[in-house]
Amino acid sequence: MPKPSLSSEAGRDGSIEMSPEKGAPIDESFESEAVAGPQEYRLYKRRWIGLVALVILNIVSGMTLVWFGPIANSVALEFGFTLNQINWFGNIVNVVYLPSAFVVPYLYRRLGVRKACFIAGSLFVVSAWVRFAGTVHGLSIQGSYALIIVGQLLASMAMPILQVVVPSYSERWFNLKSRTTATMVMSLANPVGNAIGQLISPLVSTTRDSILVMAIIFTAAAPIVFLVGEAPPTPPTFAATHKRPSLSSLGRAMLGKAPRSEYAYMTLRQRIDFVILCVLFGVLVGIINTFAILTAQQLEPYGYSDSTAGLMGAVLLLVGLVCGAISSPLLDRVFTNHLALTGKLLLPAVGASWLAMIWEIKPHNDVVLFVLVAIIGGTGLTLLPVVLELGVELTRNADGSSAILWFSTNLCGLIFVLVEGALRAGPNANPPHNMHHAIIFQGVLGMAVVVLVYFLEGKQTRRAQDEVRDEAARTHHQSTTRPGVDVLGVPLSPSTEEPDTPAPAEITRVDLESGKDSPAGTLVR
């Protein structure tokens, strides 16, 4: 019986790979098993090109939600829209996201990531100029509003296509030492787009010119979709070897109907944890998105300008980007198994800051408000990629978990904008049209939901499986390449001497309850 062994090779593009020697075919028929012998893994430099492309596309897409927030009062004066009508320019993003969250995973499976991104790029261009058509002089108020909101609707359809794919792209292209960092960079791109949108929109001289600038940005970004790759020829980790699971498989797992032998099987504890994640993520990110849409309306009654409101929203998001850039490499390489603990340490600061807003949104209090939004950004947005990664750890379904988490965020954001709009004071209040009751609502809710994080266990099962498989590959490689030692290797294919007898392969399974590896005997293929 031949003995397959592994050799470390440098790829032509500078990547490092572990590959089986020639002549040792790999049986891939049992892709659902946790570990079935050492396997080839490889990193490709072009993964960074796709990452940069998705970052740029998500930055541009993120502008859709908030562009009209800082200039809401100016748009109301120039076009004759009411503030509640203008709020729907942001709300439409949340509305479109709700059904899209369930359609997008199917789109990835049916068309692939690359073709799905082509659809997003086309929507960018069409939405940009439909929206701009609504600024033409001579249109009625109703005509202008209809064109602008249709443009917003089309742009909103592109956002879930580009956002839901982030954890899946990280899983398909990056290894254990860079997966969380990749998710962080791409997932924070959308909030960065929020920040840039809040900065740019009030800087342009008129609201009509502001919408023209938005159209130019969207059109220029559309061709970048051609840089997004589908999947590498050779996966970087064991998790990336599995076929893209469907959203329905996640539904079965959440209902406890998935067989224990399935890769995506979830224990009761994991199902509870994922529900907690959805509530935490939905409420806290929903509050941030609501604040981004209503920043000017919450601050303007107390004497703050549109530019100050836009800068405040930008500080929240950009500080989060900086803190996320610092923390994600640490989570990838140092605190690799402590994603849940990170949330338990940071979330209380987020809740306390939202609560403090109740008393600190008042005239001439710029410094304190900037400090509070910086704390919210630095802690809250640092946790955004952590939650997305933890969702995949619990479900082993990158597309499905991401879609449901973003669904919860947009559902909460939609509800919160409507509730806070209804809580706006009347013209006879002091100050007129203030949103103090809305600020109380978001502060109390933000603080109350944080308590749920302490019920979270958050075992990282996917990482445990990947570590077991990678360790098996390294151990096998070291034992078979050590000089003077002849070690019986794990058969990777049926014996050529005994064609009628399948070769047994030693495997190690990962216990889903404990996250640890345990021997599981042999598997007959």
- Show Cβ contacts of residue 303 under 8 Å, excluding neighbours closer than 6 positions: 363, 364
Task: Indicate whether 24 belongs to any domain.
Answer: no
Instruction: Choose among 118, 127, 125, 126: nearest CA to 93.
Output: 127
Helix axis angle for 207-221 and 47-66, nearest 10°, is: 160
Task: Indicate whether 315 belongs to any domain.
Answer: yes
Task: Indicate whether 238 belongs to any domain.
Answer: yes
Q: What is the pLDDT of residue 41?
A: 72
Cα 515 from Cα 57, distance rounded (Å): 36
Cα–chain center distance at 35? 28
Task: Indicate whether 485 belongs to any domain.
Answer: no
- Whole-angstrom CA distances from 292 to 71, 79, 231, 283, 309 are 12, 22, 34, 14, 9
Task: Indicate whether 37 belongs to any domain.
Answer: no
Task: Indicate whether 509 belongs to any domain.
Answer: no
SS3 42: strand
Task: Indicate whether 505 belongs to any domain.
Answer: no
Q: What is the pLDDT of residue 242?
A: 66
- Return the residue matching tokens 């064109």: 147
Question: Cβ-count burial of 349 within 10 angstroms (0-12 exposed, 13-18 middle, 19+ buried)?
Answer: middle
**What would the pLDDT profile of 351-366 be if each residue is shown by its tens digit?**
999 999 999 999 989 8
Measured in degrees and rounded to the nearest 5, phi and psi for residue 165 equal -75, -15
Strand order in 6-10's β-sheet?
A: 6-10, 16-20, 41-42
pTM for the full model?
A: 0.69
Cα 393 from Cα 410, distance rounded (Å): 22
Q: What is the pLDDT of residue 478?
A: 59
Task: Indicate whether 264 belongs to any domain.
Answer: yes
The parent domain of residue 339 ranges over 47-464
DSSP label at residue 45: T
Cα 284 from Cα 185, distance rounded (Å): 20
Q: Which CATH number covers residue 421?
A: 1.20.1250.20
For the chain, 525 residues long, the average pLDDT of each consecutive 10-residue run is 40 40 35 46 83 94 86 87 87 86 84 89 94 90 93 92 84 77 82 83 86 94 91 75 75 84 80 91 89 84 83 79 76 64 84 93 91 89 79 82 88 90 88 92 93 81 59 59 44 37 40 44 36
Q: What is the pLDDT of residue 512?
A: 44
**What would the pLDDT profile of 35-91 be if each residue is shown by its tens digit?**
444 567 777 788 899 999 999 999 999 998 888 878 888 888 889 898 888 888 988
Cα 140 from Cα 146, distance rounded (Å): 10
- Return the residue matching tokens 């079935």: 36
Instruction: Choose among 157, 148, 153: nearest CA to 130.
Output: 148
| Domain count across the chain | 1
